[in-house]
Homo-oligomer: A and B are copies of this chain.
Amino acid sequence: MSGDLERLSLNQITTKSWTLPEAVDGCARWGLGWIGLWRDQVAAVGLDEAVGLLRRAGLAVSSLCRGGFFPSTDAGERDARAADNRRAIDEAAALGARVLVMVCGGIAGGGLDRSRGMVAEGIAELAPYAGERGVTLAIEPLHPMFCADRSVIVTLAQALDLAEQFPAGQVGVVVDTFHVWWDPTVEEQIARAGGRIAAFQVCDWLDPLPDVLLGRGMMGDGPIDFRRLRRAVDRAGYRGPIEVEIFNADVWASPGGEVLDRLVAAYRRHVLD
């Protein structure tokens, strides 16, 4: 890979039209050493085949998306989700992914506080299992606009309050620029996070926001100061991959090669020094 791209990782959702083999091939051709995987795409080719593909390409896995979705008022449902989360950890371990991204889930019946409690209980139950397999549960605070339906964990401070209850080898956090850029305390919390930063993801915020889920843009297409956040993460001691993860209908409709061209250029221009 090119020297200045050594930390760049393609989260495969960004090239949504590509299958896993196509994305792996794309990373190789564009000189990337890292890929972020999604479980459904791994399942589509089969776990063993995915492991082989990655090994043959010499590609490392920056993260596996995703576990989580803990809140439910139904005990049977909670057990089923816990079992699925353990499978996600096993898959991450098999793929050599040291990071499982946790999207913790929205509000279940019983309300916001009870749901936050169920997230804490779910993480506590899962953390030792993850740590024993060399996988870190990376709690991703989502933007507060997802509080109701996707993640009752909405700030880096809150994610760290939770993560710090466990050994750093078991539970960390994701810093995703789209989710945290607005936070007046973001640099303070990144500094606090230190070794808890398990993943760093980048994409821009589109203004006006075309859609709550798909309002993410290529770096430089919105107001986020990536260099500043990247430097903060660097200062905190994070040395791992920088994953580009973009949910955007236009990007998804573009050929994967064009997306990678834009992505590499935007990364060099807006993220690197």
Which residues of A approach B to under 8 Å, CB–CB?
Answer: 106-107, 111-112, 116, 143-145, 147-149, 154-155, 157-158, 161, 181-185, 205, 207-209, 212, 222-223, 225
- As for how many copies of this chain the complex holds, the number is 2
B184 touches A154 (CB 8 A): yes
Chosen A-B contacts, 21 in total, with CB atoms closer than 8 Å, are A106-B207, A111-B223, A112-B181, A112-B223, A116-B184, A143-B144, A147-B181, A147-B182, A148-B207, A148-B209, A148-B222, A148-B223, A149-B208, A154-B183, A154-B184, A157-B185, A158-B184, A161-B184, A208-B212, A209-B212, A212-B212
- A-B pairs, 7 with minimum CB distance: A147-B182, A148-B207, A144-B182, A145-B145, A158-B184, A107-B223, A144-B144
Rounded to whole angstroms, the CA-CA distance of A155 and B186 in the bound complex is 12
Q: Which of B107, B158, B184, B208 contacts A155 (CB 8 A)?
A: B184
Contacting residues, chain B, for A112 (C-beta < 8 A): 181, 223, 225
Give CA–CA (A223, B181) in the complex, Å.
Answer: 25
Alpha-carbon separation in the docked complex, A217 to B158 (Å): 27
Contact A111 B148 (CB under 8 A): no
Chain B proximity of A81: nearest CB distance (Å): 20
Does B154 contact A207, Cβ atoms closer than 8 Å?
Answer: no
* CB atoms of A148 and B205 under 8 A apart: yes
Knowing A112-B223, A143-B144 touch, does A207 contact B158 (C-beta < 8 A)? no
Alpha-carbon separation in the docked complex, A145 to B112 (Å): 19
Name the B residues within 8 Å of A106 (CB-CB): 207
> A107 CA to B223 CA in the complex, in Å?
8
B contact residues around A208 at 8 Å (CB): 149, 212
Q: Which residues of chain B have C-beta atoms less than 8 A from A107's C-beta?
A: 207, 223
Docked Cα-Cα span, A161 to B184, in Å, equals 11
